[in-house]
Amino acid sequence: MRIVVLAGGIGGARFLRGLKQAVPDADVTVIGNTGDDIHLFGLKVCPDLDTVMYTLGGGIDEEQGWGRADETFHLKEELAAYGVGPDWFGLGDRDFATHIVRTQMLGAGYPLSAVTEALCDRWKPGVRLIPMTDDRVETHVAVEVDGERKAVHFQEYWVRLRASVPAEAVVPVGAEQSKPAPGVLEAIAEADVILFPPSNPVVSVGTILAVPGIREAIAGAGVPVVGLSPIVGDAPVRGMADKVLAAVGVESTAAAVAEHYGSGLLDGWLVDTVDAGSVERIETAGIRCRAVPLMMTDLDAAAQMAREALALAEEVRGV
Ligand code: FO1
């Protein structure tokens, strides 16, 4: 079975680990969000691609959900000692190697998709990981700080500001001019099922859908598209998705996120059992809905969620 998954960071990566356990023989292609990318110290850092690669490749810091296990921060300390910023983004020594190799290959003219493939040769994530585009896209967030409106890089909003101020707008800068990376549209066209994991619907899945051609390809693929709500009980399971949902006028509920994606895109939507009351509203919106446990407390829970998503896809396919 060929499965395409649009993945962001931690939630998407953990879901993918469950999917691989649920259907080990499936051919999984991950279209990764690159809107979180940031250039630091002359290096290109791709947080969401690295989170998928490390999580599935066995190198992730399990507790944090990002960055490398057994990390040290000597380089970060030395840079700070030189007064070279920023110091609010936690790049570890092991992680730096990934960004050095990536930046070196980009500098030699390799596109990000080829670089990602090369990095995955080491990590062997067991899925094909393709960036949504080889072009530069960076999400910026419009905020008002000390009475001054300004746009900050997503990572500054997320990590330095801890999303402590409302996001007035979220803009994937460069998305309009970008095109899907090689293999993205082909994977969607050949997929038997397309999944939206519990990733951030605005800055992760939303950014991938902002690359011209991707939303249309998914909507027109003619195969079941099933998503899992990242919102449980009116609150994001992790992260601060509610802050960016507000920026796009979407209430922080499982039903509102499903309606935000729309029945033109989504055929099925899984909500957590605590949100079972919203099943009818979602089905009225033309999206088949089931209430199942959606807390990825461990690998088996994530695998069960994946099985539920695939079962719903078959149910949708059958109509
Ligand atoms: N998230 C944090 O909350 N604090 C950090 O210092 C931090 C550093 C970091 C370094 C590399 C990397 O790949 C991810 C990192 N993240 C950090 C997570 C990152 O902000 C998020 O994973 C995504 O951008 C949102 O999904």
- What pLDDT does residue 274 have? 97
CA–centroid distance, residue 66 to ligand 1 (Å) = 6
Interval 22-56: pLDDT, tens:
999 999 999 999 999 999 999 999 999 999 999 99
Assigned domain for 98 exists: no
Assigned domain for 270 exists: yes
47 CA: nearest ligand 1 atom = 13
Domain count, the chain: 1
- What pLDDT does residue 51 have? 98
CA–centroid distance, residue 304 to ligand 1 (Å) = 27
The range of the structural domain enclosing residue 307 comes to 2-39+125-133+177-317
Once rounded to an integer, what is the mean pLDDT over residues 232-239? Answer: 86
pLDDT category at 17 given cuts 50, 70, 90 is very high
d(CA 208, CA 21): 25
Assigned domain for 210 exists: yes
Quote the tokens at residue 167. Answer: 């996001």
- Residue 15 sits in a domain of what CATH number? 3.40.50.10680
Assigned domain for 72 exists: no
CA–centroid distance, residue 50 to ligand 1 (Å) = 10
- What pLDDT does residue 100 have? 98
What's the predicted TM-score (pTM) here? 0.97
Q: Which amino acid residue places its CA nearest to atom 4 of ligand 1?
A: 159
Quote the tokens at residue 290. Answer: 């089931």
50 CA: nearest ligand 1 atom = 13
Assigned domain for 201 exists: yes
**pLDDT of 236 higher than 90:** no
Interval 259-316: pLDDT, tens:
999 999 999 999 999 999 999 999 999 999 999 999 999 999 999 999 999 999 999 9
Q: Which amino acid residue places its CA nearest to atom 25 of ligand 1?
A: 9
- What pLDDT does residue 28 have? 98
CA–centroid distance, residue 138 to ligand 1 (Å) = 14
Ligand 1 neighbours (beta carbon < 6 A) = 8-9, 36, 45, 47-48, 50-51, 66-67, 89-91, 95, 155, 158-159
CA–centroid distance, residue 54 to ligand 1 (Å) = 13
State the average pLDDT for the chain.
96
Which among 66, 72, 119 is the best mutation to test ligand 1's pocket, defined by most ligand atoms within 8 Å of the CB?
Answer: 66
Which of 192, 193, 197 shows the shortest CA–CA distance to 305? 197
95 CA: nearest ligand 1 atom = 11
Which range (82-86, 164-168, 236-240) has the least confidence? Answer: 236-240
